[in-house]
Amino acid sequence: KVSLTIDGIKVEVPSNFTVLEAARKVGVEIPSLCFLKGINEVGACRVCMVEVEGYRNIQASCVLPVAEGMSVKTNTKKLRDVRKSTLQLILSNHNRECLTCSRNRNCELQKLTEELNIDAIPFEGEKTQPVIDDLSPSIVRDNSKCILCGRCVSTCKNVQKIGILEFTNRGFNTEVAPAFNKSMGDTACIFCGQCVVACPVAALKEKEDIDRVWDALENPDTHVVVQTAPAVRAALGEEMGLPIGTRVTGKMVAALKRLGFHKVFDTNFAADVTIMEEGHEMLDRIQNNGVLPMITSCSPGWVRFCEFNYPEFLPNLSTCKSPQQMNGALIKSYYAERQKIDPKKIFVVSVMPCTSKKNEAARPELAVDGLRDVDAVITTREMAKMIKQARIDFHKLPDERFDHELSGYAGAGVIFGATGGVMEAALRTVADILEDKELAKIDYTEIRGTEGIREAELVLGGKTIKIAIAHGTANASRLLDMIKSGEKEYDFIEVMGCSGGCVTGGGQPHVAAKDKIDIDLRVERAKALYEEDQTMKERKSHKNKAVLELYENFLLKPNSHLAHKLLHTHYTV
Ligand code: HC0
Ligand code: SF4
């Protein structure tokens, strides 16, 4: 422990704290902009400057380690002046069309401008020529909004170990862009959107599809069905001003019904179907000397990462489509047949916590007889915009239930949204099958958590099964390298493209960097999902009655001919 004073207040903190963190302990929030805890700690923007007794120059508090007896001042005229001119300089070359900006009222730059009481921008200089890259199916980059904080660059390079975005050119012409100014769509970008959630402004955002969804809802000839991914319910509330980790399943369903969707289904149902298909695929690979380890394939960012960077592992990927695609395919076959609706007239909308799902839905191989499984994908943020646009008072909504036709789900389906959840759901089913009895064990708490790579060994039916979990593509990379070198061996692996899994996907609500200092979003949002799992009567996918009915009346058995046609896919280099 180290003790120091901040603005005259004594504080004791661990010795690995920075001054910025120490100040928060005593309720002093030093402004910052480029700082993103654990990701971008570079002290570049000079907004978080402080004065320290005995130091000649002012210091960037986000990279300044605490020291015994240190005396720090955070609010002096000198500091206010420096911060003001720093911000004015940034603003002078910023496209300040706040009212029509997608980050209006949730922009970190706008907030700072207000908090630091900037009432004029005296130097109106040359402006960067706006270049908008909207060629990718998932992400739009607008350099006229970029403030060169580098948060996206560090995220892509260090957390994802991909490095699509970089600082290009020099001096006034410095920009953040892919090398050679390519469109993000023409690079090995996996569309995970982690750069989008790292961006404090609107320089990076999802490619919106809201208007196409409104158009479908207006069209009297179209039957519009919506499905919501597991992780969406754990975060939508934040867009409505509720605390992080509030679960809003019932209100979300009510809102979607009011938006006019004919049916509101839950992707969880298809998550349970995925477990049936993937679980049996796993058993088949074990029993018939198939390619092992089998690796999950439901995270489209991860699949794209594997295609670009580890094509030798493509035979290891499960052939199962992701739950979003399975649900789409089942809506246009099973549901359409039962309801006697022409599948060509069905428009499937997915609400996903993920920007890569937009790209996944557009993959040509994810169509059945020329009909796309999913017609439009919107993020959690886009759904919130639609709810607001429709003037629905979210807080006054009652809790409503998903439509029953394709929605019964077991607890296993909902935990898919957190890292380790797909593995846990799979184990709940595979263990019962291998042991040939109904095991009392449901919670595999030993594989939960946020450690980048987690592993376990289980003895099931007299066989030892080695499993591993990785989240964030840098961790996936580390894991695959260890398998390649022979250092590690596994039977079954879950990989999610984003750190934390879907709950912290690139389409989830923005949370300011300062709020991420003391809160681990991955933990808080995952709690909401594990809580929903606990409330379910059935918590194992193979106990889900709706799933059993689907097999009995339609698919016949897991991995059947029809199941293969509708629910499985292949990968390309
Ligand atoms: Fe996920 Fe999914 S769990 S990828 O993270 O598997 O996006 O939430 O919808 O498809 O179910 C995202 C979340 C999904 C899918 C499911 C899987
Ligand atoms: Fe990098 Fe992901 Fe952003 Fe693409 S979407 S630039 S891979 S962080």
The enclosing domain of 345 has a CATH number of 3.40.50.1780
User: Does residue 572 fall inside a structural domain?
Assistant: no
Give CA–CA dist 454/472, Å, rounded: 13
CATH number, domain at 169?
3.30.70.20
> pLDDT digit of tens for each residue in the chain (573 aa)?
999 999 999 999 999 999 999 999 999 999 999 999 999 999 999 999 999 999 999 999 999 999 999 999 999 999 999 999 999 999 999 999 999 999 999 999 999 999 999 999 987 777 778 889 999 999 999 999 999 999 999 999 999 999 999 999 888 889 999 999 999 999 999 999 999 999 999 999 999 999 999 999 999 999 999 999 999 999 999 999 999 999 999 999 999 999 999 999 999 999 999 999 999 999 999 989 999 999 999 999 999 999 999 999 999 999 999 999 999 999 999 999 999 999 999 999 999 999 999 999 999 999 999 999 999 999 999 999 999 999 999 999 999 999 998 877 788 889 999 999 999 999 999 999 998 999 988 999 989 999 999 999 999 888 899 999 999 999 999 999 999 999 999 999 999 999 999 999 999 999 999 999 989 999 999 999 999 999 998 899 999 999 999 999 999 999 999 999 999 999 986
Tell me, yes or no, whether 513 and 556 share the same domain: yes
Q: What is the pLDDT of residue 172?
A: 81
CA of 190 to the centre of ligand 2 (A): 6
Tell me, yes or no, whether 479 and 348 share the same domain: yes
Tell me, yes or no, whether 391 and 277 share the same domain: yes
194 touches 357 (CB < 8 A): no
Q: What is the pLDDT of residue 461?
A: 86
Give CA–CA dist 311/121, Å, rounded: 51
- Could you write out the three-class secondary structure of 45-69? CCCCEEEECCCCCCEECCCCECCCC
Among all chains, which residue has been given the structure tokens 């980059």?
141
Element (H, E) at 561: helix 561-567
Q: What is the pLDDT of residue 129?
A: 81
Q: What is the pLDDT of residue 405?
A: 87
Tell me, yes or no, whether 294 and 405 share the same domain: yes
Tell me, yes or no, whether 386 and 238 share the same domain: yes
User: Does residue 382 fall inside a structural domain?
Assistant: yes
Proximal ligand: closest to the CA of 138: 2
Among all chains, which residue has been given the structure tokens 């207040």?
9
The question of whether 357 is a catalytic residue gets the answer yes
User: Domain residues for 55?
Assistant: 2-90
User: Does residue 306 fall inside a structural domain?
Assistant: yes
Tell me, yes or no, whether 194 and 229 share the same domain: no
Tell me, yes or no, whether 154 and 109 share the same domain: yes
Nearest atom (ligand 1) to Cα of 413:
11
Write phi, then psi, for 258 (nearest 5 degrees): -70, -25
Nearest atom (ligand 2) to Cα of 204:
3
Give CA–CA dist 60/55, Å, rounded: 12
Element (H, E) at 566: helix 561-567
Q: What is the pLDDT of residue 170?
A: 82
Q: What is the pLDDT of residue 82?
A: 96
Q: How far, in Å, are 303, 461, 485, 548 from residue 269 at the CA level?
A: 22, 28, 38, 11
The question of whether 281 is a catalytic residue gets the answer yes
Tell me, yes or no, whether 200 and 222 share the same domain: no
Tell me, yes or no, whether 189 and 217 share the same domain: no
User: Does residue 171 fall inside a structural domain?
Assistant: yes
CA of 295 to the centre of ligand 1 (A): 15
Tell me, yes or no, whether 80 and 100 share the same domain: no
User: Does residue 387 fall inside a structural domain?
Assistant: yes
Burial state string for 440-478 with b = 16 or more CB within 10 A and e = fewer than 16: eeeebeebbebebbbebebebeeeebbbbbbbbbbbbbe
CA of 34 to the centre of ligand 1 (A): 30
User: Does residue 573 fall inside a structural domain?
Assistant: no
* Angle formed at CA 198 by CA 227 and CA 183, multiple of 5 degrees: 80
Out of 322, 348, 533, 547, give the residue to mutate to test ligand 1, the one with the largest number of ligand atoms within 8 Å of its CB: 322
Pick the closest to residue 560 from 238, 276, 228, 355 (CA basis): 276
Q: Count of domains in the chain?
A: 3
First CA to last CA distance, the chain: 52
Out of 36, 140, 164, 356, give the residue to mutate to test ligand 2, the one with the largest number of ligand atoms within 8 Å of its CB: 164
Q: How far, in Å, are 110, 145, 183, 506 from residue 204 at the CA level?
A: 16, 8, 13, 11
Give the ipTM.
Answer: 0.92
Beta strands in 313-433 (DSSP E): 346-352, 367-368, 371-372, 376-379
Question: Which position among 53, 97, 114, 365 bears the catalytic label?
Answer: 365
Q: Is 428 exposed, middle or buried (0-12, 13-18, 19+ CB in 10 A)?
A: buried
Q: How far, in Å, are 28, 41, 300, 516 from residue 499 at the CA level?
A: 29, 18, 14, 14
350 touches 300 (CB < 8 A): no
User: Does residue 451 fall inside a structural domain?
Assistant: yes
DSSP-H helix ranges across 343-465: 356-362, 380-389, 411-414, 421-435
Domain boundary residue, one of 188, 206, 224: 206
Question: Which position among 277, 278, 382, 532 bears the catalytic label?
Answer: 278
Q: What is the pLDDT of residue 268?
A: 94
Give CA–CA dist 428/486, Å, rounded: 29
CATH number, domain at 49?
3.10.20.740
Tell me, yes or no, whether 480 and 519 share the same domain: yes
User: Does residue 126 fall inside a structural domain?
Assistant: no
Question: Which position among 239, 360, 424, 538 bears the catalytic label?
Answer: 360
Question: Which position among 297, 318, 356, 477 bears the catalytic label?
Answer: 318
Q: What is the pLDDT of residue 407?
A: 77
Q: Is 499 in the pocket of ligand 2 (CB under 6 A)?
A: no
Domain boundary residue, one of 144, 179, 206: 206
Tell me, yes or no, whether 185 and 52 share the same domain: no
Out of 232, 302, 324, 541, give the residue to mutate to test ligand 1, the one with the largest number of ligand atoms within 8 Å of its CB: 324
Domain boundary residue, one of 206, 240, 262: 206
Give CA–CA dist 183/363, Å, rounded: 18
DSSP-H helix ranges across 390-420: 411-414
Q: In Å, how far from its chain's centre is CA 307?
A: 20
Q: What is the pLDDT of residue 161?
A: 97
